[in-house]
Structure 1
Amino acid sequence: MSVDSIAAVAALEPSQLLAVNPANTGSLSPAVQNDFTHMVSRGLDEVNTQLLASQVDLQQLAAGNVQNLHQVMIRMEDARMSFQLLLQMRNRALEAYQDLMKMPV
């Protein structure tokens, strides 16, 4: 994910993050849910795009069509780091979900 994705979260006002739907106390408003869904899907799309671009770069490198090896390596490392961040975020979310499911009701 890029820094722009993280900046989008920081740009949200606290009232947007903590907006409560009066009809269903304790749940986020639909606008906040849609913003979160959009932000997550946009982040997934960015990571996917980076991975696909690094795959194309790798194919061009294998074919010998690369002029600047440094740029290829930088893009591949950037894609790898983005994917690692995505995996860590998924792992943390899954752990939090599992902790919630273990709580007694």
Structure 2
Amino acid sequence: MAIEAIAAVSGTEALTGTLPAASLAPLREPSTLFAAVSDQIATTDQRIHAAGESVRQLAAGEIEDLHGVMLDLEKAKLSMSLIVQVRNRLLESYQEVMRMQI
């Protein structure tokens, strides 16, 4: 059995042809991340208020669509869960950066 030597890497020029074009795109500006999070927070707030209004209307007898009310509640719950998870990830990232030694 013959063992062949590993060829040396000739530099980054050889790698650029194998990478997908999306990975070579420049990083987005930080403001786009914050704008997206801000938009999602606003959407979550609207869904929570809409779900609360639906529950109030159901309790008052103004509407009888229990299915729609439950859908509104689940949308609000999932949106809130998403925001909490994003916050947790951002907080973990910040803490990891703060632990780095310079």
Give your verdict on TM over 0.5: yes
Equivalent in the alignment of 1:102: 99
What does 1:3-14 correspond to in 2, within 5 Å?
none
1:37: how far off?
Answer: 2.4
Whichever structure has more helix as a proportion of its residues is 1
One-letter code of the match for 2:30? Q
Listed one character per residue, the Cα deviations across residues 8-31 of structure 1 (whole Å, up to 9, x for unaligned) are: xxxxx6525x26xxxxxxxxxxxx
Cα distance between partner residues in 1 of 2:53 and 2:72: 11
2:55 aligned residue (32, 35, 58)? 58
User: CA RMSD, aligned part only?
Assistant: 1.6
2:71 aligned residue (68, 71, 74)? 74
- Structure 1 gaps of 5+ residues are 1-12, 20-31
Are residues 1:35 and 2:32 paired?
A: yes
What does 1:78-93 correspond to in 2, within 5 Å?
78-93=75-90
Equivalent in the alignment of 2:17: none
Listed one character per residue, the Cα deviations across residues 30-89 of structure 1 (whole Å, up to 9, x for unaligned) are: xx2332222121111111110110011111122121221101101111110110111011
Higher relative contact order (CA 8 A, sep 6+): 1
2:42 aligned residue (34, 40, 45)? 45
TM-score by length of 1: 0.67
Higher CA-based Rg: 2
